[in-house]
Structure 1
Amino acid sequence: MLDMPAIREDLKTVYDLAPNPDLAARMSAEYSRMSRVVSPADWAIHAPYVAAINALKRERNAAILAHNYMTPQIFHGIADVVGDSLQLAVEATRTKADVIVQCGVHFMAETSKILNPSKIVLMPDMEAGCSLADSITAEGVAQMRAQYPGAPVVSYVNTTAEVKAASDICCTSANAVQIIRALEADTIIMTPDKYLAQNVAALVPEKRIVWWDGACIVHEQYTAQDIREFREWNPGTRIIAHPECPPEVVAEADFSGSTKGILDYVSAERPARAMLVTECSMASNISDAHPDVEFIGPCNMCPFMKKITLEKVLWSLHTMTTQIEVAPEVADKARLAVQRMIDLSAAKG
């Protein structure tokens, strides 16, 4: 566990991190992208960290890859690339930076390292895990193969490098249907997210999909009753769900898609009011770009994503510690599964 009081004091000996309203005012371009969800007082606190990180990443030739569930200060203030898991994986193969700072959870940093074995990949907090990644091991994949001999294994990117290495191909919530349809097998194993697998199975009835019993702690909390009650209390609101939600929740929604899919849907449809059935920061991060859309309703916060903070990003870049390493023999096998996914996604457009 990181010793944050000690880290905080160490950083203050090198950087001027005191709240600075004048600096915040000069950084109005960054603030304009998050002004609906971050107060001026809070921005004065965060601006010194944002300025220090942006200066240091230029010095280190570093690129910051941030998932859509990051806080607005990270998403809009310091990120060079933002997106869902598929977008971040693709961009990790394209970056010219010497250093990648992964603002997301551990499996995302592993994926970046797998795709860039010669680059330094920093993970600001090694304890930023994932309930899905923690739900299965390579031994679990072997069990599924033994139970369904000959069936290919499609593993969600929300898995460890060892699980990816034991799989035939990876998928994300953005391309899972596309990947499953492209495989010639009639029976397909999907790990570890049972809800994503069930939602894909409903869209690809010609395939027999069997799944591991994993779930996302954020999305499994939503229920169909929640959605029905919310719709009754808020008529006319467009309900948009992530496919990691239970199938009965997805069935009640007006649209279901990955975080990129959600963003594309909101951008195209411009509903007057929308409820995003996903992690809380998603609505916060897209609200300023969609001032005509009122985002309402409950959300669930990911405790793992929220372990990544500006302080930890600055400390990681400052010390160049918290580097991700993946054993070469594991990385080589995992890279095949991830690259197959990327290639298939690109080929099918």
Structure 2
Amino acid sequence: MDKNFLVQEILRLKQEKNAVILAHYYQNEDIQDIADFIGDSLELSKKAQTTTADIIVFAGVHFMAETAKILNPNKKVILPDWEAGCSLADGCGPEDFKAFKNQYPDHVVVTYINCSAEIKAMSDFVCTSSNAKKIIASIPSDQKIIFAPDQNLGNYLQKETKRELVLWKGSCVVHEAFSLDKLLEIYLKNPTAKIAAHPESESHILKIAHYIGSTSGIINFIKTDPTTVFIVATEAGILHELSKAVPEKTLIPAPSTEDNTCACSECAFMKVNTLQKLYWCLKNESPEIQIKEDLRIDALKPIEKMLALS
């Protein structure tokens, strides 16, 4: 279908159905351009909670749309492609995690928001990469903690908070795909550049970063730092909106170990959503996220604790 037709139809359907489009920074450029709100996990969670729309179109991955539904039980939440999953969330199954948790009965559970509703329901706290340090600091220092599902973020938090965490062995394929050798090669060619990295990245990438933070944190750092060249070690989708905000700055995506078309690290799950799928999703109001009420209530509690602390 013609792009202009799709855009016009999406805007018409959105108004007709009182819908709002929330898009993660890692979405395709066409989707970011048509979204009502673009953000990271925490921003989108908060936006989902405050919207007056009847329908939330969540252009992101499955766990994000689930979080929106947990916060908005009376709104219809739809996802452009049901297959928009997450390697991190998919690598932490409820049965396996329950068995893992049972090994540490005296531990509280802090889970990164990149997990399923079932995992959230087994948690005491949920966090994002932007508020994880604050969440852990709120827990008494003598209280033992399980952190799941991202071990790279967990390792980073152990160093930052000086707390010992029992880590679930999971990781994000996007943030483990960066090549240190290629990154250093780019840095040698751009010696005045600053490297900004997401804490889901491996420790050898974080060691050479000038700034470590969430997607929003990286964006704010690049906007406010006087440096003019940045090498960005997170999913390359954030460069689209960011380049509009700082047209005078040079943004270089950190290179992937794989030789791919963009020479950067992209999330294949995020990129399965397309403008055409968004149109059909809004037209048919499907696929729809549905969560059983008892599971929703259990998953809501740790999210509410996070939002209160944030």
Shorter-chain-normalised TM-score: which range?
over 0.9
CA distance in 2, matches of 1:241, 1:226: 15
1:111 aligned counterpart, secondary structure = helix
CA distance in 2, matches of 1:194, 1:229: 27
Residue number among 335, 338, 341 corresponding to 2:300 in the alignment:
335
- Other-structure match for 1:127: 83
Shift of the alpha carbon at 1:309? 0.7
Tell whether the 8 Å contact from 1:227 to 1:253 is kept in structure 2 after alignment: no
- Other-structure match for 1:7: none
Say yes or no: does 1:82 pair with 2:38: yes
Deviation larger for 262-271 or 123-132: 262-271
Shift of the alpha carbon at 1:235? 1.2
2:308 aligned counterpart, secondary structure = helix
- Other-structure match for 2:269: 304
Higher relative contact order (CA 8 A, sep 6+): 2
* Structure 2 unaligned residues grouped into runs of 5+: 256-263
Tell whether the 8 Å contact from 2:108 to 2:143 is kept in structure 1 after alignment: no
- Other-structure match for 1:37: none
Shift of the alpha carbon at 1:284? 2.1
CA distance in 1, matches of 2:59, 2:12: 17
Tell whether the 8 Å contact from 2:229 to 2:251 is kept in structure 1 after alignment: yes
CA distance in 1, matches of 2:247, 2:80: 32
CA distance in 2, matches of 1:313, 1:270: 38
Q: How many residues align?
A: 300
CA distance in 2, matches of 1:224, 1:209: 26
- Other-structure match for 1:67: 24
CA distance in 2, matches of 1:228, 1:307: 31
Q: What are the Cα deviations for residues 142-166 of structure 1, in whole angstroms up to 9, with x where unaligned?
A: 2332222211101111101111111
2:191 aligned counterpart, secondary structure = coil
CA distance in 1, matches of 2:4, 2:189: 39
Shift of the alpha carbon at 1:52? 1.5
CA distance in 1, matches of 2:189, 2:222: 21
1:65 aligned counterpart, secondary structure = strand
- Other-structure match for 1:201: 158
- Other-structure match for 2:290: 325
Report the residue type matching 1:73 in the other structure: D
Shift of the alpha carbon at 1:270? 4.2
Residue number among 107, 116, 139 corresponding to 1:183 in the alignment:
139
CA distance in 2, matches of 1:229, 1:187: 41
CA RMSD of aligned residues (A): 1.3
Shift of the alpha carbon at 1:223? 4.2
Deviation larger for 147-156 or 161-170: 147-156
CA distance in 2, matches of 1:88, 1:277: 21
CA distance in 2, matches of 1:271, 1:94: 36
Q: What are the Cα deviations for residues 172-192 of structure 1, in whole angstroms up to 9, with x where unaligned?
A: 111111111111153211110
CA distance in 2, matches of 1:75, 1:343: 28
Say yes or no: does 1:287 pair with 2:243: yes
1:245 aligned counterpart, secondary structure = coil
Tell whether the 8 Å contact from 2:61 to 2:269 is kept in structure 1 after alignment: yes
Tell whether the 8 Å contact from 1:240 to 1:275 is kept in structure 2 after alignment: yes
State the TM-score, normalizing by the size of structure 1: 0.83
Residue number among 61, 67, 76 corresponding to 1:111 in the alignment:
67
Shift of the alpha carbon at 1:322? 0.4
2:291 aligned counterpart, secondary structure = coil
1:97 aligned counterpart, secondary structure = coil
1:276 aligned counterpart, secondary structure = strand
- Larger Cα Rg: Structure 1 or Structure 2? 1
Tell whether the 8 Å contact from 1:67 to 1:84 is kept in structure 2 after alignment: yes
Shift of the alpha carbon at 1:247? 1.7
CA distance in 2, matches of 1:252, 1:84: 24
Q: What is the identity percentage for the equivalent residue pairs of Structure 1 and Structure 2?
A: 40
State the TM-score, normalizing by the size of structure 2: 0.93
Residue number among 293, 310, 315 corresponding to 2:280 in the alignment:
315
Q: What are the Cα deviations for residues 103-157 of structure 1, in whole angstroms up to 9, with x where unaligned?
A: 0000000000111111100011000000010011222332332222211101111
